Structure 1
Amino acid sequence: MLDNRSLQLWVERVSLEWFGRPFLHQATFNARLKATGGRYFTRSHHIEISPHQLEAFGADETEKIIKHELCHYHLHLMNRGYRHRDADFKELLARVGGSRYCSSLPDGAGRRVIPYRYMLICQSCGMEYKRKKRVDPARYACGRCRGKLTILTLDKDMAP
């Protein structure tokens, strides 16, 4: 696993190599980033990268995320379209080979997985509805046949 200093050097190298411009701000890992690979801050110009992406998908995918964030960085500093919807951003991203979207993390890779604990079962047609939180079956009806529902508590070993 890389530390923040190694990430800083990596981002500076990618910036010079692919954009021909220096990265003059701070790049850090942020372990709280789970739904996104990285982010760019328009006020401070700092970049944060998710270490979970590096662990799950390796250096090549992480470098594509770095290129994506550097596109935001350099375009913003040049007063050009740095947002995802802007043509300048899309064109530069394609030219440097950055990723448009990051891959979803697999279960357990930095994300807390909450198993289903309850199952509502229709008494008429047998339709099953999995739920993480307990609900009152008397307040709901089957979405398929409008039948009555009963609730079943799943064991932790049985839950997917």
Structure 2
Amino acid sequence: MTNDELQCLVEEISKKDFKRPFRHQATFNKRLRTTGGRYHLSSHRLDFNPRVVEVYGKEELIGVIKHELCHYHLHLEGKGYQHKDSDFKKLLKETGGSRFVKALGDKTTLTYRYYECASCHSTIIRRRRINTEKYVCQCGGKLKNLVK
């Protein structure tokens, strides 16, 4: 699905389910990881995660579009547009939007780096790399990189 097709879909859903026009921009944003979509308060733009379509298809994307359109229309009307607001919950229920997007399964595996002290032989586990030329162990010993 292209950004133009997404724009047309968002405009169509807005007219059909919300009885109001969508007059701003809707695009896919590949940088979104854990969320299905995002509404920008300042520009009124909508971003959507392309993984929602890839993993779950168009039906799940429509639920996410309705969710973001609830934020959009309520904010423009000056009503409660946040998840906790009753206006938002009511409109979301009326339109059949999804409350949460299903897990997208793109959890990255955590990588760890292991270092050993040359003098006390303690093992140091870090997620970030340590510059072994600059940093030393707590005992003052030189660190060496262990490959695991």
Question: With structure 1 as the length reference, what TM-score do the two structures score?
Answer: 0.70
Over 4 Å off, 4+ runs:
none
Q: 1:138 to 1:99 in 2, by over 3 A?
A: same
Question: Cα distance, 1:114 vs. partner?
Answer: 3.4
Matches within 5 A, 1:137-152: 138=122
1:126-145 equivalence runs, <5 A: 132-134=112-114, 138=122
Rate the CA distance shift 1:67–1:153 in 2: closer, same or farther, 3 A: same
**What corresponds to 1:86 in structure 2?**
85
**What is the alpha-carbon distance in structure 2 between the residues aligned to residue 17 and residue 133 of structure 1?**
53
**Counterpart check, 1:27 vs 2:33:** no
CA distance in 2, matches of 1:39, 1:91: 19
1:49-85 deviation line (CA, Å, top 9, x unaligned): 0101110010000000000000000000000000111
In structure 1, the gaps of 5 or more residues are: 117-131, 141-151, 155-160
| Cα drift, residue 34 of structure 1 | 1.1
Change (3 A) 1:86 1:27: same
What is the rounded CA distance, in whole Å, between the counterparts of 2:81 and 2:35 in structure 1? 17
Aligned length: 123
Equivalences for 1:106-117 in 2 at 5 Å? 106-107=105-106, 113-114=108-109
Counterpart of 2:51, as a letter, is: H
CA-CA distance at 1:33 after TM superposition: 0.7
Query: Quick one: percent identity of the two aligned structures?
Result: 46
Superposed CA RMSD: 2.0
Question: Are the counterparts in 1 of residues 10 and 22 from structure 2 also a CA contact under 8 Å?
Answer: yes
1:65 aligned partner, one-letter code: V
Q: For the Cα contact (< 8 Å) 2:66–2:98, is it kept in 1?
A: yes
